[in-house]
């Protein structure tokens, strides 16, 4: 898989001196929206037993019912429930192609970008004040104490050694250090064509963007010409099944479901069986959001994994944990627990657009070293980018110091 991102070219648009926190960075732009999740039907309709009331995510599921999988016209019509714009591409297209919002445009509104941008404008001189301001900006953006201290101390040492001629040189060094933290985890998800299907199990706490991310991935894989199937493993709420079905319909993807209160492991098992029978390339299983501190719910994830493994010893091939970028340091604790229960193999950090602080990405990278596969930078189907360390960092740092 190729990185979607086009590296942002520092000189692409000359930065202007920032004047305040928010504006600092050169090409500021914001992004954001807030929208909704999507839905998607299927070219095979799934059977979602009645039960309709969207209930708040709550405790445990239960027994299952036979998964129904009816084939139906592969139409991709449905207006995705509460979704935002559609868009046809999600692919390896130049994500930042002219006219399309790229990383920079999307992340400029984020807390970390605003903090770093303003700081260089306010502290154009190469001195301790600048370092203090950088430290504050990183801490405020949730980079975390350990990572921040390491970064700032390293910069301080280099500054004392007269390595930097001016603040611009220090900015370049900061960029290099930030990229160095992320580079090791910027490893894209590669779908092994030998796995039929390649099973992706998505996990995460409530509301982080799991289902939306599945919808975005469905679009991406479809565009890549892969056949896929979705498993409605969030059986806590009827609305969750409907949400996934809407996404499936939208993308013409089959969704296997049993409805609310079904046993999530059973849904996953049925879906894997169906996907194998059809020679499907990729199966993505949704799961209900759960608090990482609730042991019973975490154990259910282990069960889903085990059950999948019974059909295919190597499944799931990817346990994709979705993390809300606005979560802050709590994300570390979430990952620790989910990793313990389900051996997380990849991350998607969502909501990096808007007001997300985003700095937690650095903390996660430093502490766990688990690959960050994708970044969610909006609610539309195309707002999922293959994670690119340099593009991400460049979107956060002002291109000029504005001094």
Q: Does 258 help bind Mg ion (rule: CB under 5 A)?
A: no
| Residue 148 or 243 with smaller CB distance to ligand GTP | 243
CB of 356 to ligand GTP, least distance (A): 8
| Nearest CB to ligand GTP, comparing residues 270 and 383 | 383
CB of 335 to ligand GTP, least distance (A): 15
350 binds Mg ion (CB under 5 A): no
Binding site annotation covers 290? yes
* Smallest distance from ligand GTP to CB 84, Å: 7
Closest CA to 275 of 216, 188, 200, 374: 200
Minimum distance, C-beta of residue 23 to ligand GTP, in the bound complex (Å):
21
In three state form, how does the secondary structure of the chain look?
Answer: CCCCCCCCCCCCCCCCCCCCCCCCCCCCCCCCCCCCCCCECCCEEECCCCCCCCCCCCCCCCCCCCCEEEECCCCCCCCCCCCCCCCCCCCCCCCCCCCCCCHHHHHCCCHHHHHHHHHHHHCCCCCHHHHHHHHHHHHHCCCCHHHHHHHHHHHHHHHHCCCCCCHHHHHHHHHHHHHHHHHHHCCCCCCCCCCCCEEEEEECCCCCCHHHHHHHHHHHHHHCCCCEEEECCCCCCHHHHHHHHHHHHHHCCEEEECCCCCCHHHHHHHHHHHHHHHCCCEEEECCCCCCCCCHHHHHHHHHHHHHHHHHCCCCCCEEEEEEECCCCCHHHHHHHHHHHHHCCCEEEEECCCCCCCCCHHHHHHHHHCCCEEEEECCCCCCCEEECCHHHHHHHHCCCCCCC
Is 209 marked as binding a ligand?
Answer: yes
Q: With respect to Mg ion, which residue has the nearer C-beta, 36 or 276?
A: 36
Q: Is 251 annotated as a binding residue?
A: no
Confirm if 285 and 316 have CB atoms less than 8 A apart: yes
CA distance 367 to 387: 18
Task: Give the residue closest to Mg ion by C-beta.
Answer: 211
With beta carbons less than 8 A apart as the criterion, state whether 317 and 176 touch: no
- Residue 123 annotated as binding site: no
Pick the piece of the chain touching Mg ion (CB under 5 A) from 47-55, 149-157, 230-238, 362-370.
230-238
Q: Of ligand GTP, Mg ion, none, which one sits near residue 7, judging by CB under 5 to 8 A according to partner kind?
A: none
- Asked whether position 213 contacts Mg ion by CB under 5 A, the answer is no
Tell me whether residue 208 is annotated as binding: yes
Instruction: Find the shortest distance in angstroms from Cβ 36 to ligand GTP.
Output: 5
Site residues for ligand GTP per CB under 6 A: 34-37, 57, 204, 206-212, 234, 240, 289, 350-351, 353-354, 376-379, 383
Under rule CB under 5 A, residue 212 binds Mg ion: no
Instruction: Find the shortest distance in angstroms from Cβ 373 to ligand GTP.
Output: 13
Q: Nearest approach, Cβ of 375 to ligand GTP (angstroms)?
A: 8
Is 123 among the residues that bind Mg ion (CB under 5 A)? no
Q: Can residue 235 be called a binding residue for Mg ion (CB under 5 A)?
A: no
- Among 25, 211, 345, 350, contact with Mg ion (rule: CB under 5 A): 211
- What character string, x for contact with Mg ion (CB under 5 A) and - otherwise, covers 262-281? --------------------
Residue 205 is assigned to a ligand binding site? yes
350 marked as binding residue: yes
Binding residues for GTP: 204-211, 286-290, 350-353
Q: Which residues are annotated as a binding site?
A: 204-211, 286-290, 350-353
Could you list the residues that contact Mg ion (CB under 5 A)?
A: 210-211, 234
């Amino acid at each position: 898989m190729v990185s979607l991102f086009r590296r942002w070219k520092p000189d692409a648009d000359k930065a202007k001196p920032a004047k305040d926190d928010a504006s600092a960075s050169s090409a500021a732009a914001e992004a954001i929206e807030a929208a909704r999740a999507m839905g998607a039907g299927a070219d095979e309709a799934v059977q979602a037993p009645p039960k309709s009331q969207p209930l708040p995510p709550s405790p445990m599921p239960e027994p299952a019912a036979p998964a129904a999988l009816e084939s139906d016209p592969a139409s991709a019509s449905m207006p995705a429930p509460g979704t935002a714009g559609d868009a046809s591409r999600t692919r390896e297209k130049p994500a930042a192609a002219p006219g399309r919002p790229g990383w920079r445009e999307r992340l400029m509104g984020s807390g970390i970008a605003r903090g770093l941008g303003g700081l260089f404008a306010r502290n154009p001189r190469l001195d301790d004040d600048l370092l203090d301001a950088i430290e504050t900006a990183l801490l405020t953006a949730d980079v975390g104490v350990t990572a921040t201290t390491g970064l700032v101390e390293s910069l301080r040492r280099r500054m004392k050694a007269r390595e930097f001629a001016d603040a611009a040189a220090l900015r370049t060094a900061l960029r290099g250090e930030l990229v160095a933290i992320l580079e090791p985890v910027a490893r894209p998800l590669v779908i092994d064509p030998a796995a039929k299907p390649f099973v992706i199990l998505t996990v995460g706490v409530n509301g982080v963007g799991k289902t939306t991310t599945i919808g975005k991935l469905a679009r991406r894989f479809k565009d890549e010409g892969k056949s896929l199937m979705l498993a409605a493993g969030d059986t806590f709420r009827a609305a969750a099944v409907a949400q996934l079905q809407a996404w499936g319909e939208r993308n013409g993807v089959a969704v296997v479901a049993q409805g609310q209160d079904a046993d999530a492991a059973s849904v996953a098992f049925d879906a894997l069986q169906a996907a194998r029978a059809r020679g499907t390339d990729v199966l993505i299983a949704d799961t209900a959001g759960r608090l990482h501190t609730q042991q019973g719910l975490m154990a259910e994830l282990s069960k889903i994994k085990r059950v999948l493994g019974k059909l295919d010893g190597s499944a799931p091939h990817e346990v994709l944990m979705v993390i809300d970028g606005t979560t802050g340091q709590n994300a570390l604790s979430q990952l620790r627990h989910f990793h313990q229960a389900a051996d997380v193999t990849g991350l998607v950090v969502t909501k990096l657009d808007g007001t997300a602080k985003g700095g937690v990405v650095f903390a996660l990278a430093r502490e766990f070293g688990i690959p960050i596969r994708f970044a969610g930078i909006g609610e539309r189907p195309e707002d999922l980018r293959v994670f690119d360390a340099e593009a991400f960092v460049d979107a956060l740092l002002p291109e000029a110091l504005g001094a």
